[in-house]
Amino acid sequence: MHIGTIGKKRRSFPAVMLAIVLLLCGCNAKDKTNTDDIIILYTNDVHCAVDDNIGYAGLAAYRKQCEQETPYVALVDCGDALQGDAIGTVSKGEYPAELMKRAGYDFAVLGNHEFDYGMEQLDRLMEISGARYLGCNIRYTGESEAAFLSRLLPYEVVSYGKVKVAFIGVSTPESTVKSVPAYFCDENGNYVYDFCGESGAALYRCVQENVDACARDGADYVVLLAHLGTDEASSPFTSRELIANTRGIDAVLDGHSHSEIPCDMVKNADGENVLLSSTGTGLCNIGRLTITANGNIQTGLIGAYPEADSEMADCIEDMEAKYEAELTKSVAVSEAALTTASDSGMRLVRNRETNLGDFCADAYRFVSGADIAFVNGGGIRADIPAGEITYEDILSVHPYGNTLCVAKATGQEIQDALEMASRACLPRPDDGENAVGENGGFLQVSGLQYTIDTSVESTVETDEQGNFLSCGEQRRVKDVMVLQEDGSYTALAPDEIYTVASHNYLIKEGGDGMNIFMDNELTVDEGMLDYEILMTYLTDGLNGTVGDAYALPQERIKVR
C-alpha cells in the first residue's frame, strides 16, 4: 500500500446550520473490486453522550444517508460506550445499550469501562445492544466460564458483494487496572481474566494469529476494531505499536485515548502503510471508512452533521424522561443525616472530619480494596439527609465525574500528604464561605487515625503554584495509625508500601497542590466514576442502609 492524498472538503452553509467536515486520507486499491462502495461508520468512547454533539440522532441520520449511497453499510463501536454519565449509572448501562440497538450497531468491542457494571450485567448489556461483540485477546482461566464470553467472537468475516471484509476485535490489557480489578478475580482474589497482557509480544502474536485466520477464511480486507489508544503511558499496548509489529491489517479503528485521528499512516512489520483512525470522544465526530468500488480504502471524520433522525430523537427523549424519573427514586436509606457541616450550619468538611467524609472515604476503600483512602473535602459538594437516598442525592455529593485511582505509596509519602492537607487547620474553625482555616485539599480519610496538633506551626513549603515541595522536621500531624484487617491499628511505617485510593484529580493531576503521588505506580488507573463508587458502596457494601455507625464522625482525625 502507498500513501494516498489527504484533503479537506469545504462547503458553505448558512450560519444557523452545521457543516459536515470530512477529513480523508487513503491507500491505493487492492485487486478485488465491487460495483458499490463499502462504508464502515465507527464510533469510540461515546461515554453515554447520547444527545451531545452529533448524538445518536445525528448518527442514525447519517447512516441513513450512507445507505442511500450504497447497499453496503456497517456501524461499529470501539469501546467505552456504556459508561461515563449518570444516564449510564442510573440504568447500569442499559439505557445507552438500548440506544445502540436502535442505532443498529453491527459490531462492537469491549472497552475497559464496559466492565464497570460487573460481568453478569455485562452479559445483559451485550444482549441488549444487539451488536456482535468481538475480542480476540480476552481469555478466561477460571473454572466456570462467565456468560458474557459465550457472546464474544475473536473475529467475523462479512461478504459485501464480491468483497470479504474481516473485523477483528481487541481490548486493552489495561482493562484490569482501568476498571474494577476485583471484577477480574475469583473469590480468592486471583485474576481469572487475561488480555494477553503479559507482554507486548504476546498481544501482537495473538492478533497476528487472528489476522492469519481471517486470510485463510478468504478476507480481502482486515479491519481491526481496537480499544488500545495511542498514549505513551499505555505502551507496549498502543495501536501504533500493534501495527508496527503485525502484518496483513489494512486499517485500525481505535479508542481508549480519546484521540481525534482522521487518518494516520503507520508502517507495519513489512513496511507497508496501515490506516489508523479514532473519533475522539462523546460523539464529537463520526468516523467513516470507505472501501471504494475500485478497491481504494480511506478513513475520515465527520466533524458535525446538521440532521437528526426523528425516530431516534424521540427515543432519546423518552429515554431521558425515564432517566429523570429514575433520579428521584429511592435507592437506599440512611438512618443518619450525612453532612458537610456542624449542627449550626458551619461548613466543616474542609477543615474537620465529618460523617459524610467518613462515608465517602470508606466507599473508595471498599470498592478499591486499598489499605487507605483519601477524599478531598472540596470534592464533597452536598449533604445526604436522613431517610431515603436518591440517585440525585448521590450525584450531588460527587458531581465532577472523577475516576478511581489507586497508587502504591510509602508511609512517608502518606505522612507528607496528611501534613499538606492539614497545614491550614485552626483550633476552632471559623464560620463563613471563605473561612480562615479552610482548605479544599483537606483530606477525609479511611483506614487511618491521627492527630492534628494546631499548636505546631505548619512547615509545609509549596511552590508559586501551591504545589507541595517539602516539609520540615516539625510536624503537626502526629500518631498516624493504619487500620488492620482484624480491626486493630498499627503505626504508619515510613518505609513500608501501602495502597492509597482516591481519584484522578488527587492521585494523577496533583489537585489542591497534592502532587505527592503523581509519579507513583498505579494499581487502578481511572476506573469507576466517583458517584458510582458511592452507589456501589451503598448497595454492595452497606446493603442499601447507612446505619448508626455513621451518625457521628468516627474520630479518625483528632484536632487539638
Residue 432 has pLDDT above 60, yes or no: no
Name all domains of the chain by residue range, CATH numbers in brackets. 23-324 (3.60.21.10), 330-559 (3.90.780.10)
Q: Model's pTM, two decimal places?
A: 0.84
Average pLDDT, the chain: 91
> Counting runs of H as helices and runs of E as strands, what totals does the chain give?
12, 31
> Using one digit for the tens of pLDDT, what is the confidence trace for 274-313?
999 999 999 999 999 999 999 999 999 999 898 999 999 9
Q: Which residues pair with 221 in a beta bridge?
A: 165
> Using one digit for the tens of pLDDT, what is the confidence trace for 329-345?
999 999 999 999 988 78
Pairing of strands 22-27, 38-43: unpaired
Which amino acid, 452?
Answer: I
Distance CA 441, CA 528 (A): 21
Residue 5 has pLDDT above 50, yes or no: no
Name the maximum alpha-carbon separation found in the chain. 83
Residue 414 has pLDDT above 70, yes or no: yes
Distance CA 252, CA 282 (A): 20
Residues with Cβ within 8 Å of 353's Cβ and at least 6 positions away in sequence, in order, are 444, 445, 553, 554, 555, 556, 557
| Residues constituting the chain | 560
> Using one digit for the tens of pLDDT, what is the confidence trace for 315-327?
999 999 999 999 9
pLDDT of residue 429: 63
pLDDT of residue 197: 92
Mean pLDDT of 101-110: 98
**Set of cell numbers at residue 27:** 491507500
> Using one digit for the tens of pLDDT, what is the confidence trace for 219-240?
999 999 999 999 998 999 999 9
Residue 157 has pLDDT above 80, yes or no: yes
What percentage of the chain carries pLDDT values higher than 90?
A: 81
Residue 187 has pLDDT above 90, yes or no: no
Per the model's pLDDT, the better-predicted residue between 156 and 186 turns out to be 156
pLDDT of residue 25: 66
> Using one digit for the tens of pLDDT, what is the confidence trace for 355-378?
999 999 999 999 999 999 999 999
Mean pLDDT of 417-426: 93
**Set of cell numbers at residue 45:** 468512547
518: left (phi over 0), alpha (psi -120 to 50) or beta: alpha
Residue 504 has pLDDT above 50, yes or no: yes
pLDDT of residue 96: 96
Mean pLDDT of 510-527: 94
Per the model's pLDDT, the better-predicted residue between 210 and 146 turns out to be 210
Mean pLDDT of 50-74: 97
**Set of cell numbers at residue 352:** 474537620
CB 333 within 8 A of CB 388: yes
pLDDT of residue 218: 97
Per the model's pLDDT, the better-predicted residue between 35 and 171 turns out to be 171
CB burial readout 522-538, b (16+ within 10 A) else e? bbbbbbbbbbbbbbbbb
pLDDT of residue 31: 67
Distance CA 62, CA 306 (A): 9
List, as one string, the DSSP characters of 276-326. EEEE-STTS-EEEEEE-TTS-EEEEEE-------HHHHHHHHHHHHHHHHH
Residue 6 has pLDDT above 50, yes or no: no
Q: Which residues pair with 286 in a beta bridge?
A: 302
Q: Which pLDDT band holds residue 436 (cuts at 50, 70, 90)?
A: low
H/E stretch holding 477: strand 477-483
Distance CA 529, CA 191 (A): 22
Residue 438 has pLDDT above 90, yes or no: no
Distance CA 147, CA 102 (A): 24
CB 351 within 8 A of CB 480: no
pLDDT of residue 399: 87
Distance CA 380, CA 374 (A): 12
**Set of cell numbers at residue 296:** 481504494
Residue 20 has pLDDT above 50, yes or no: no
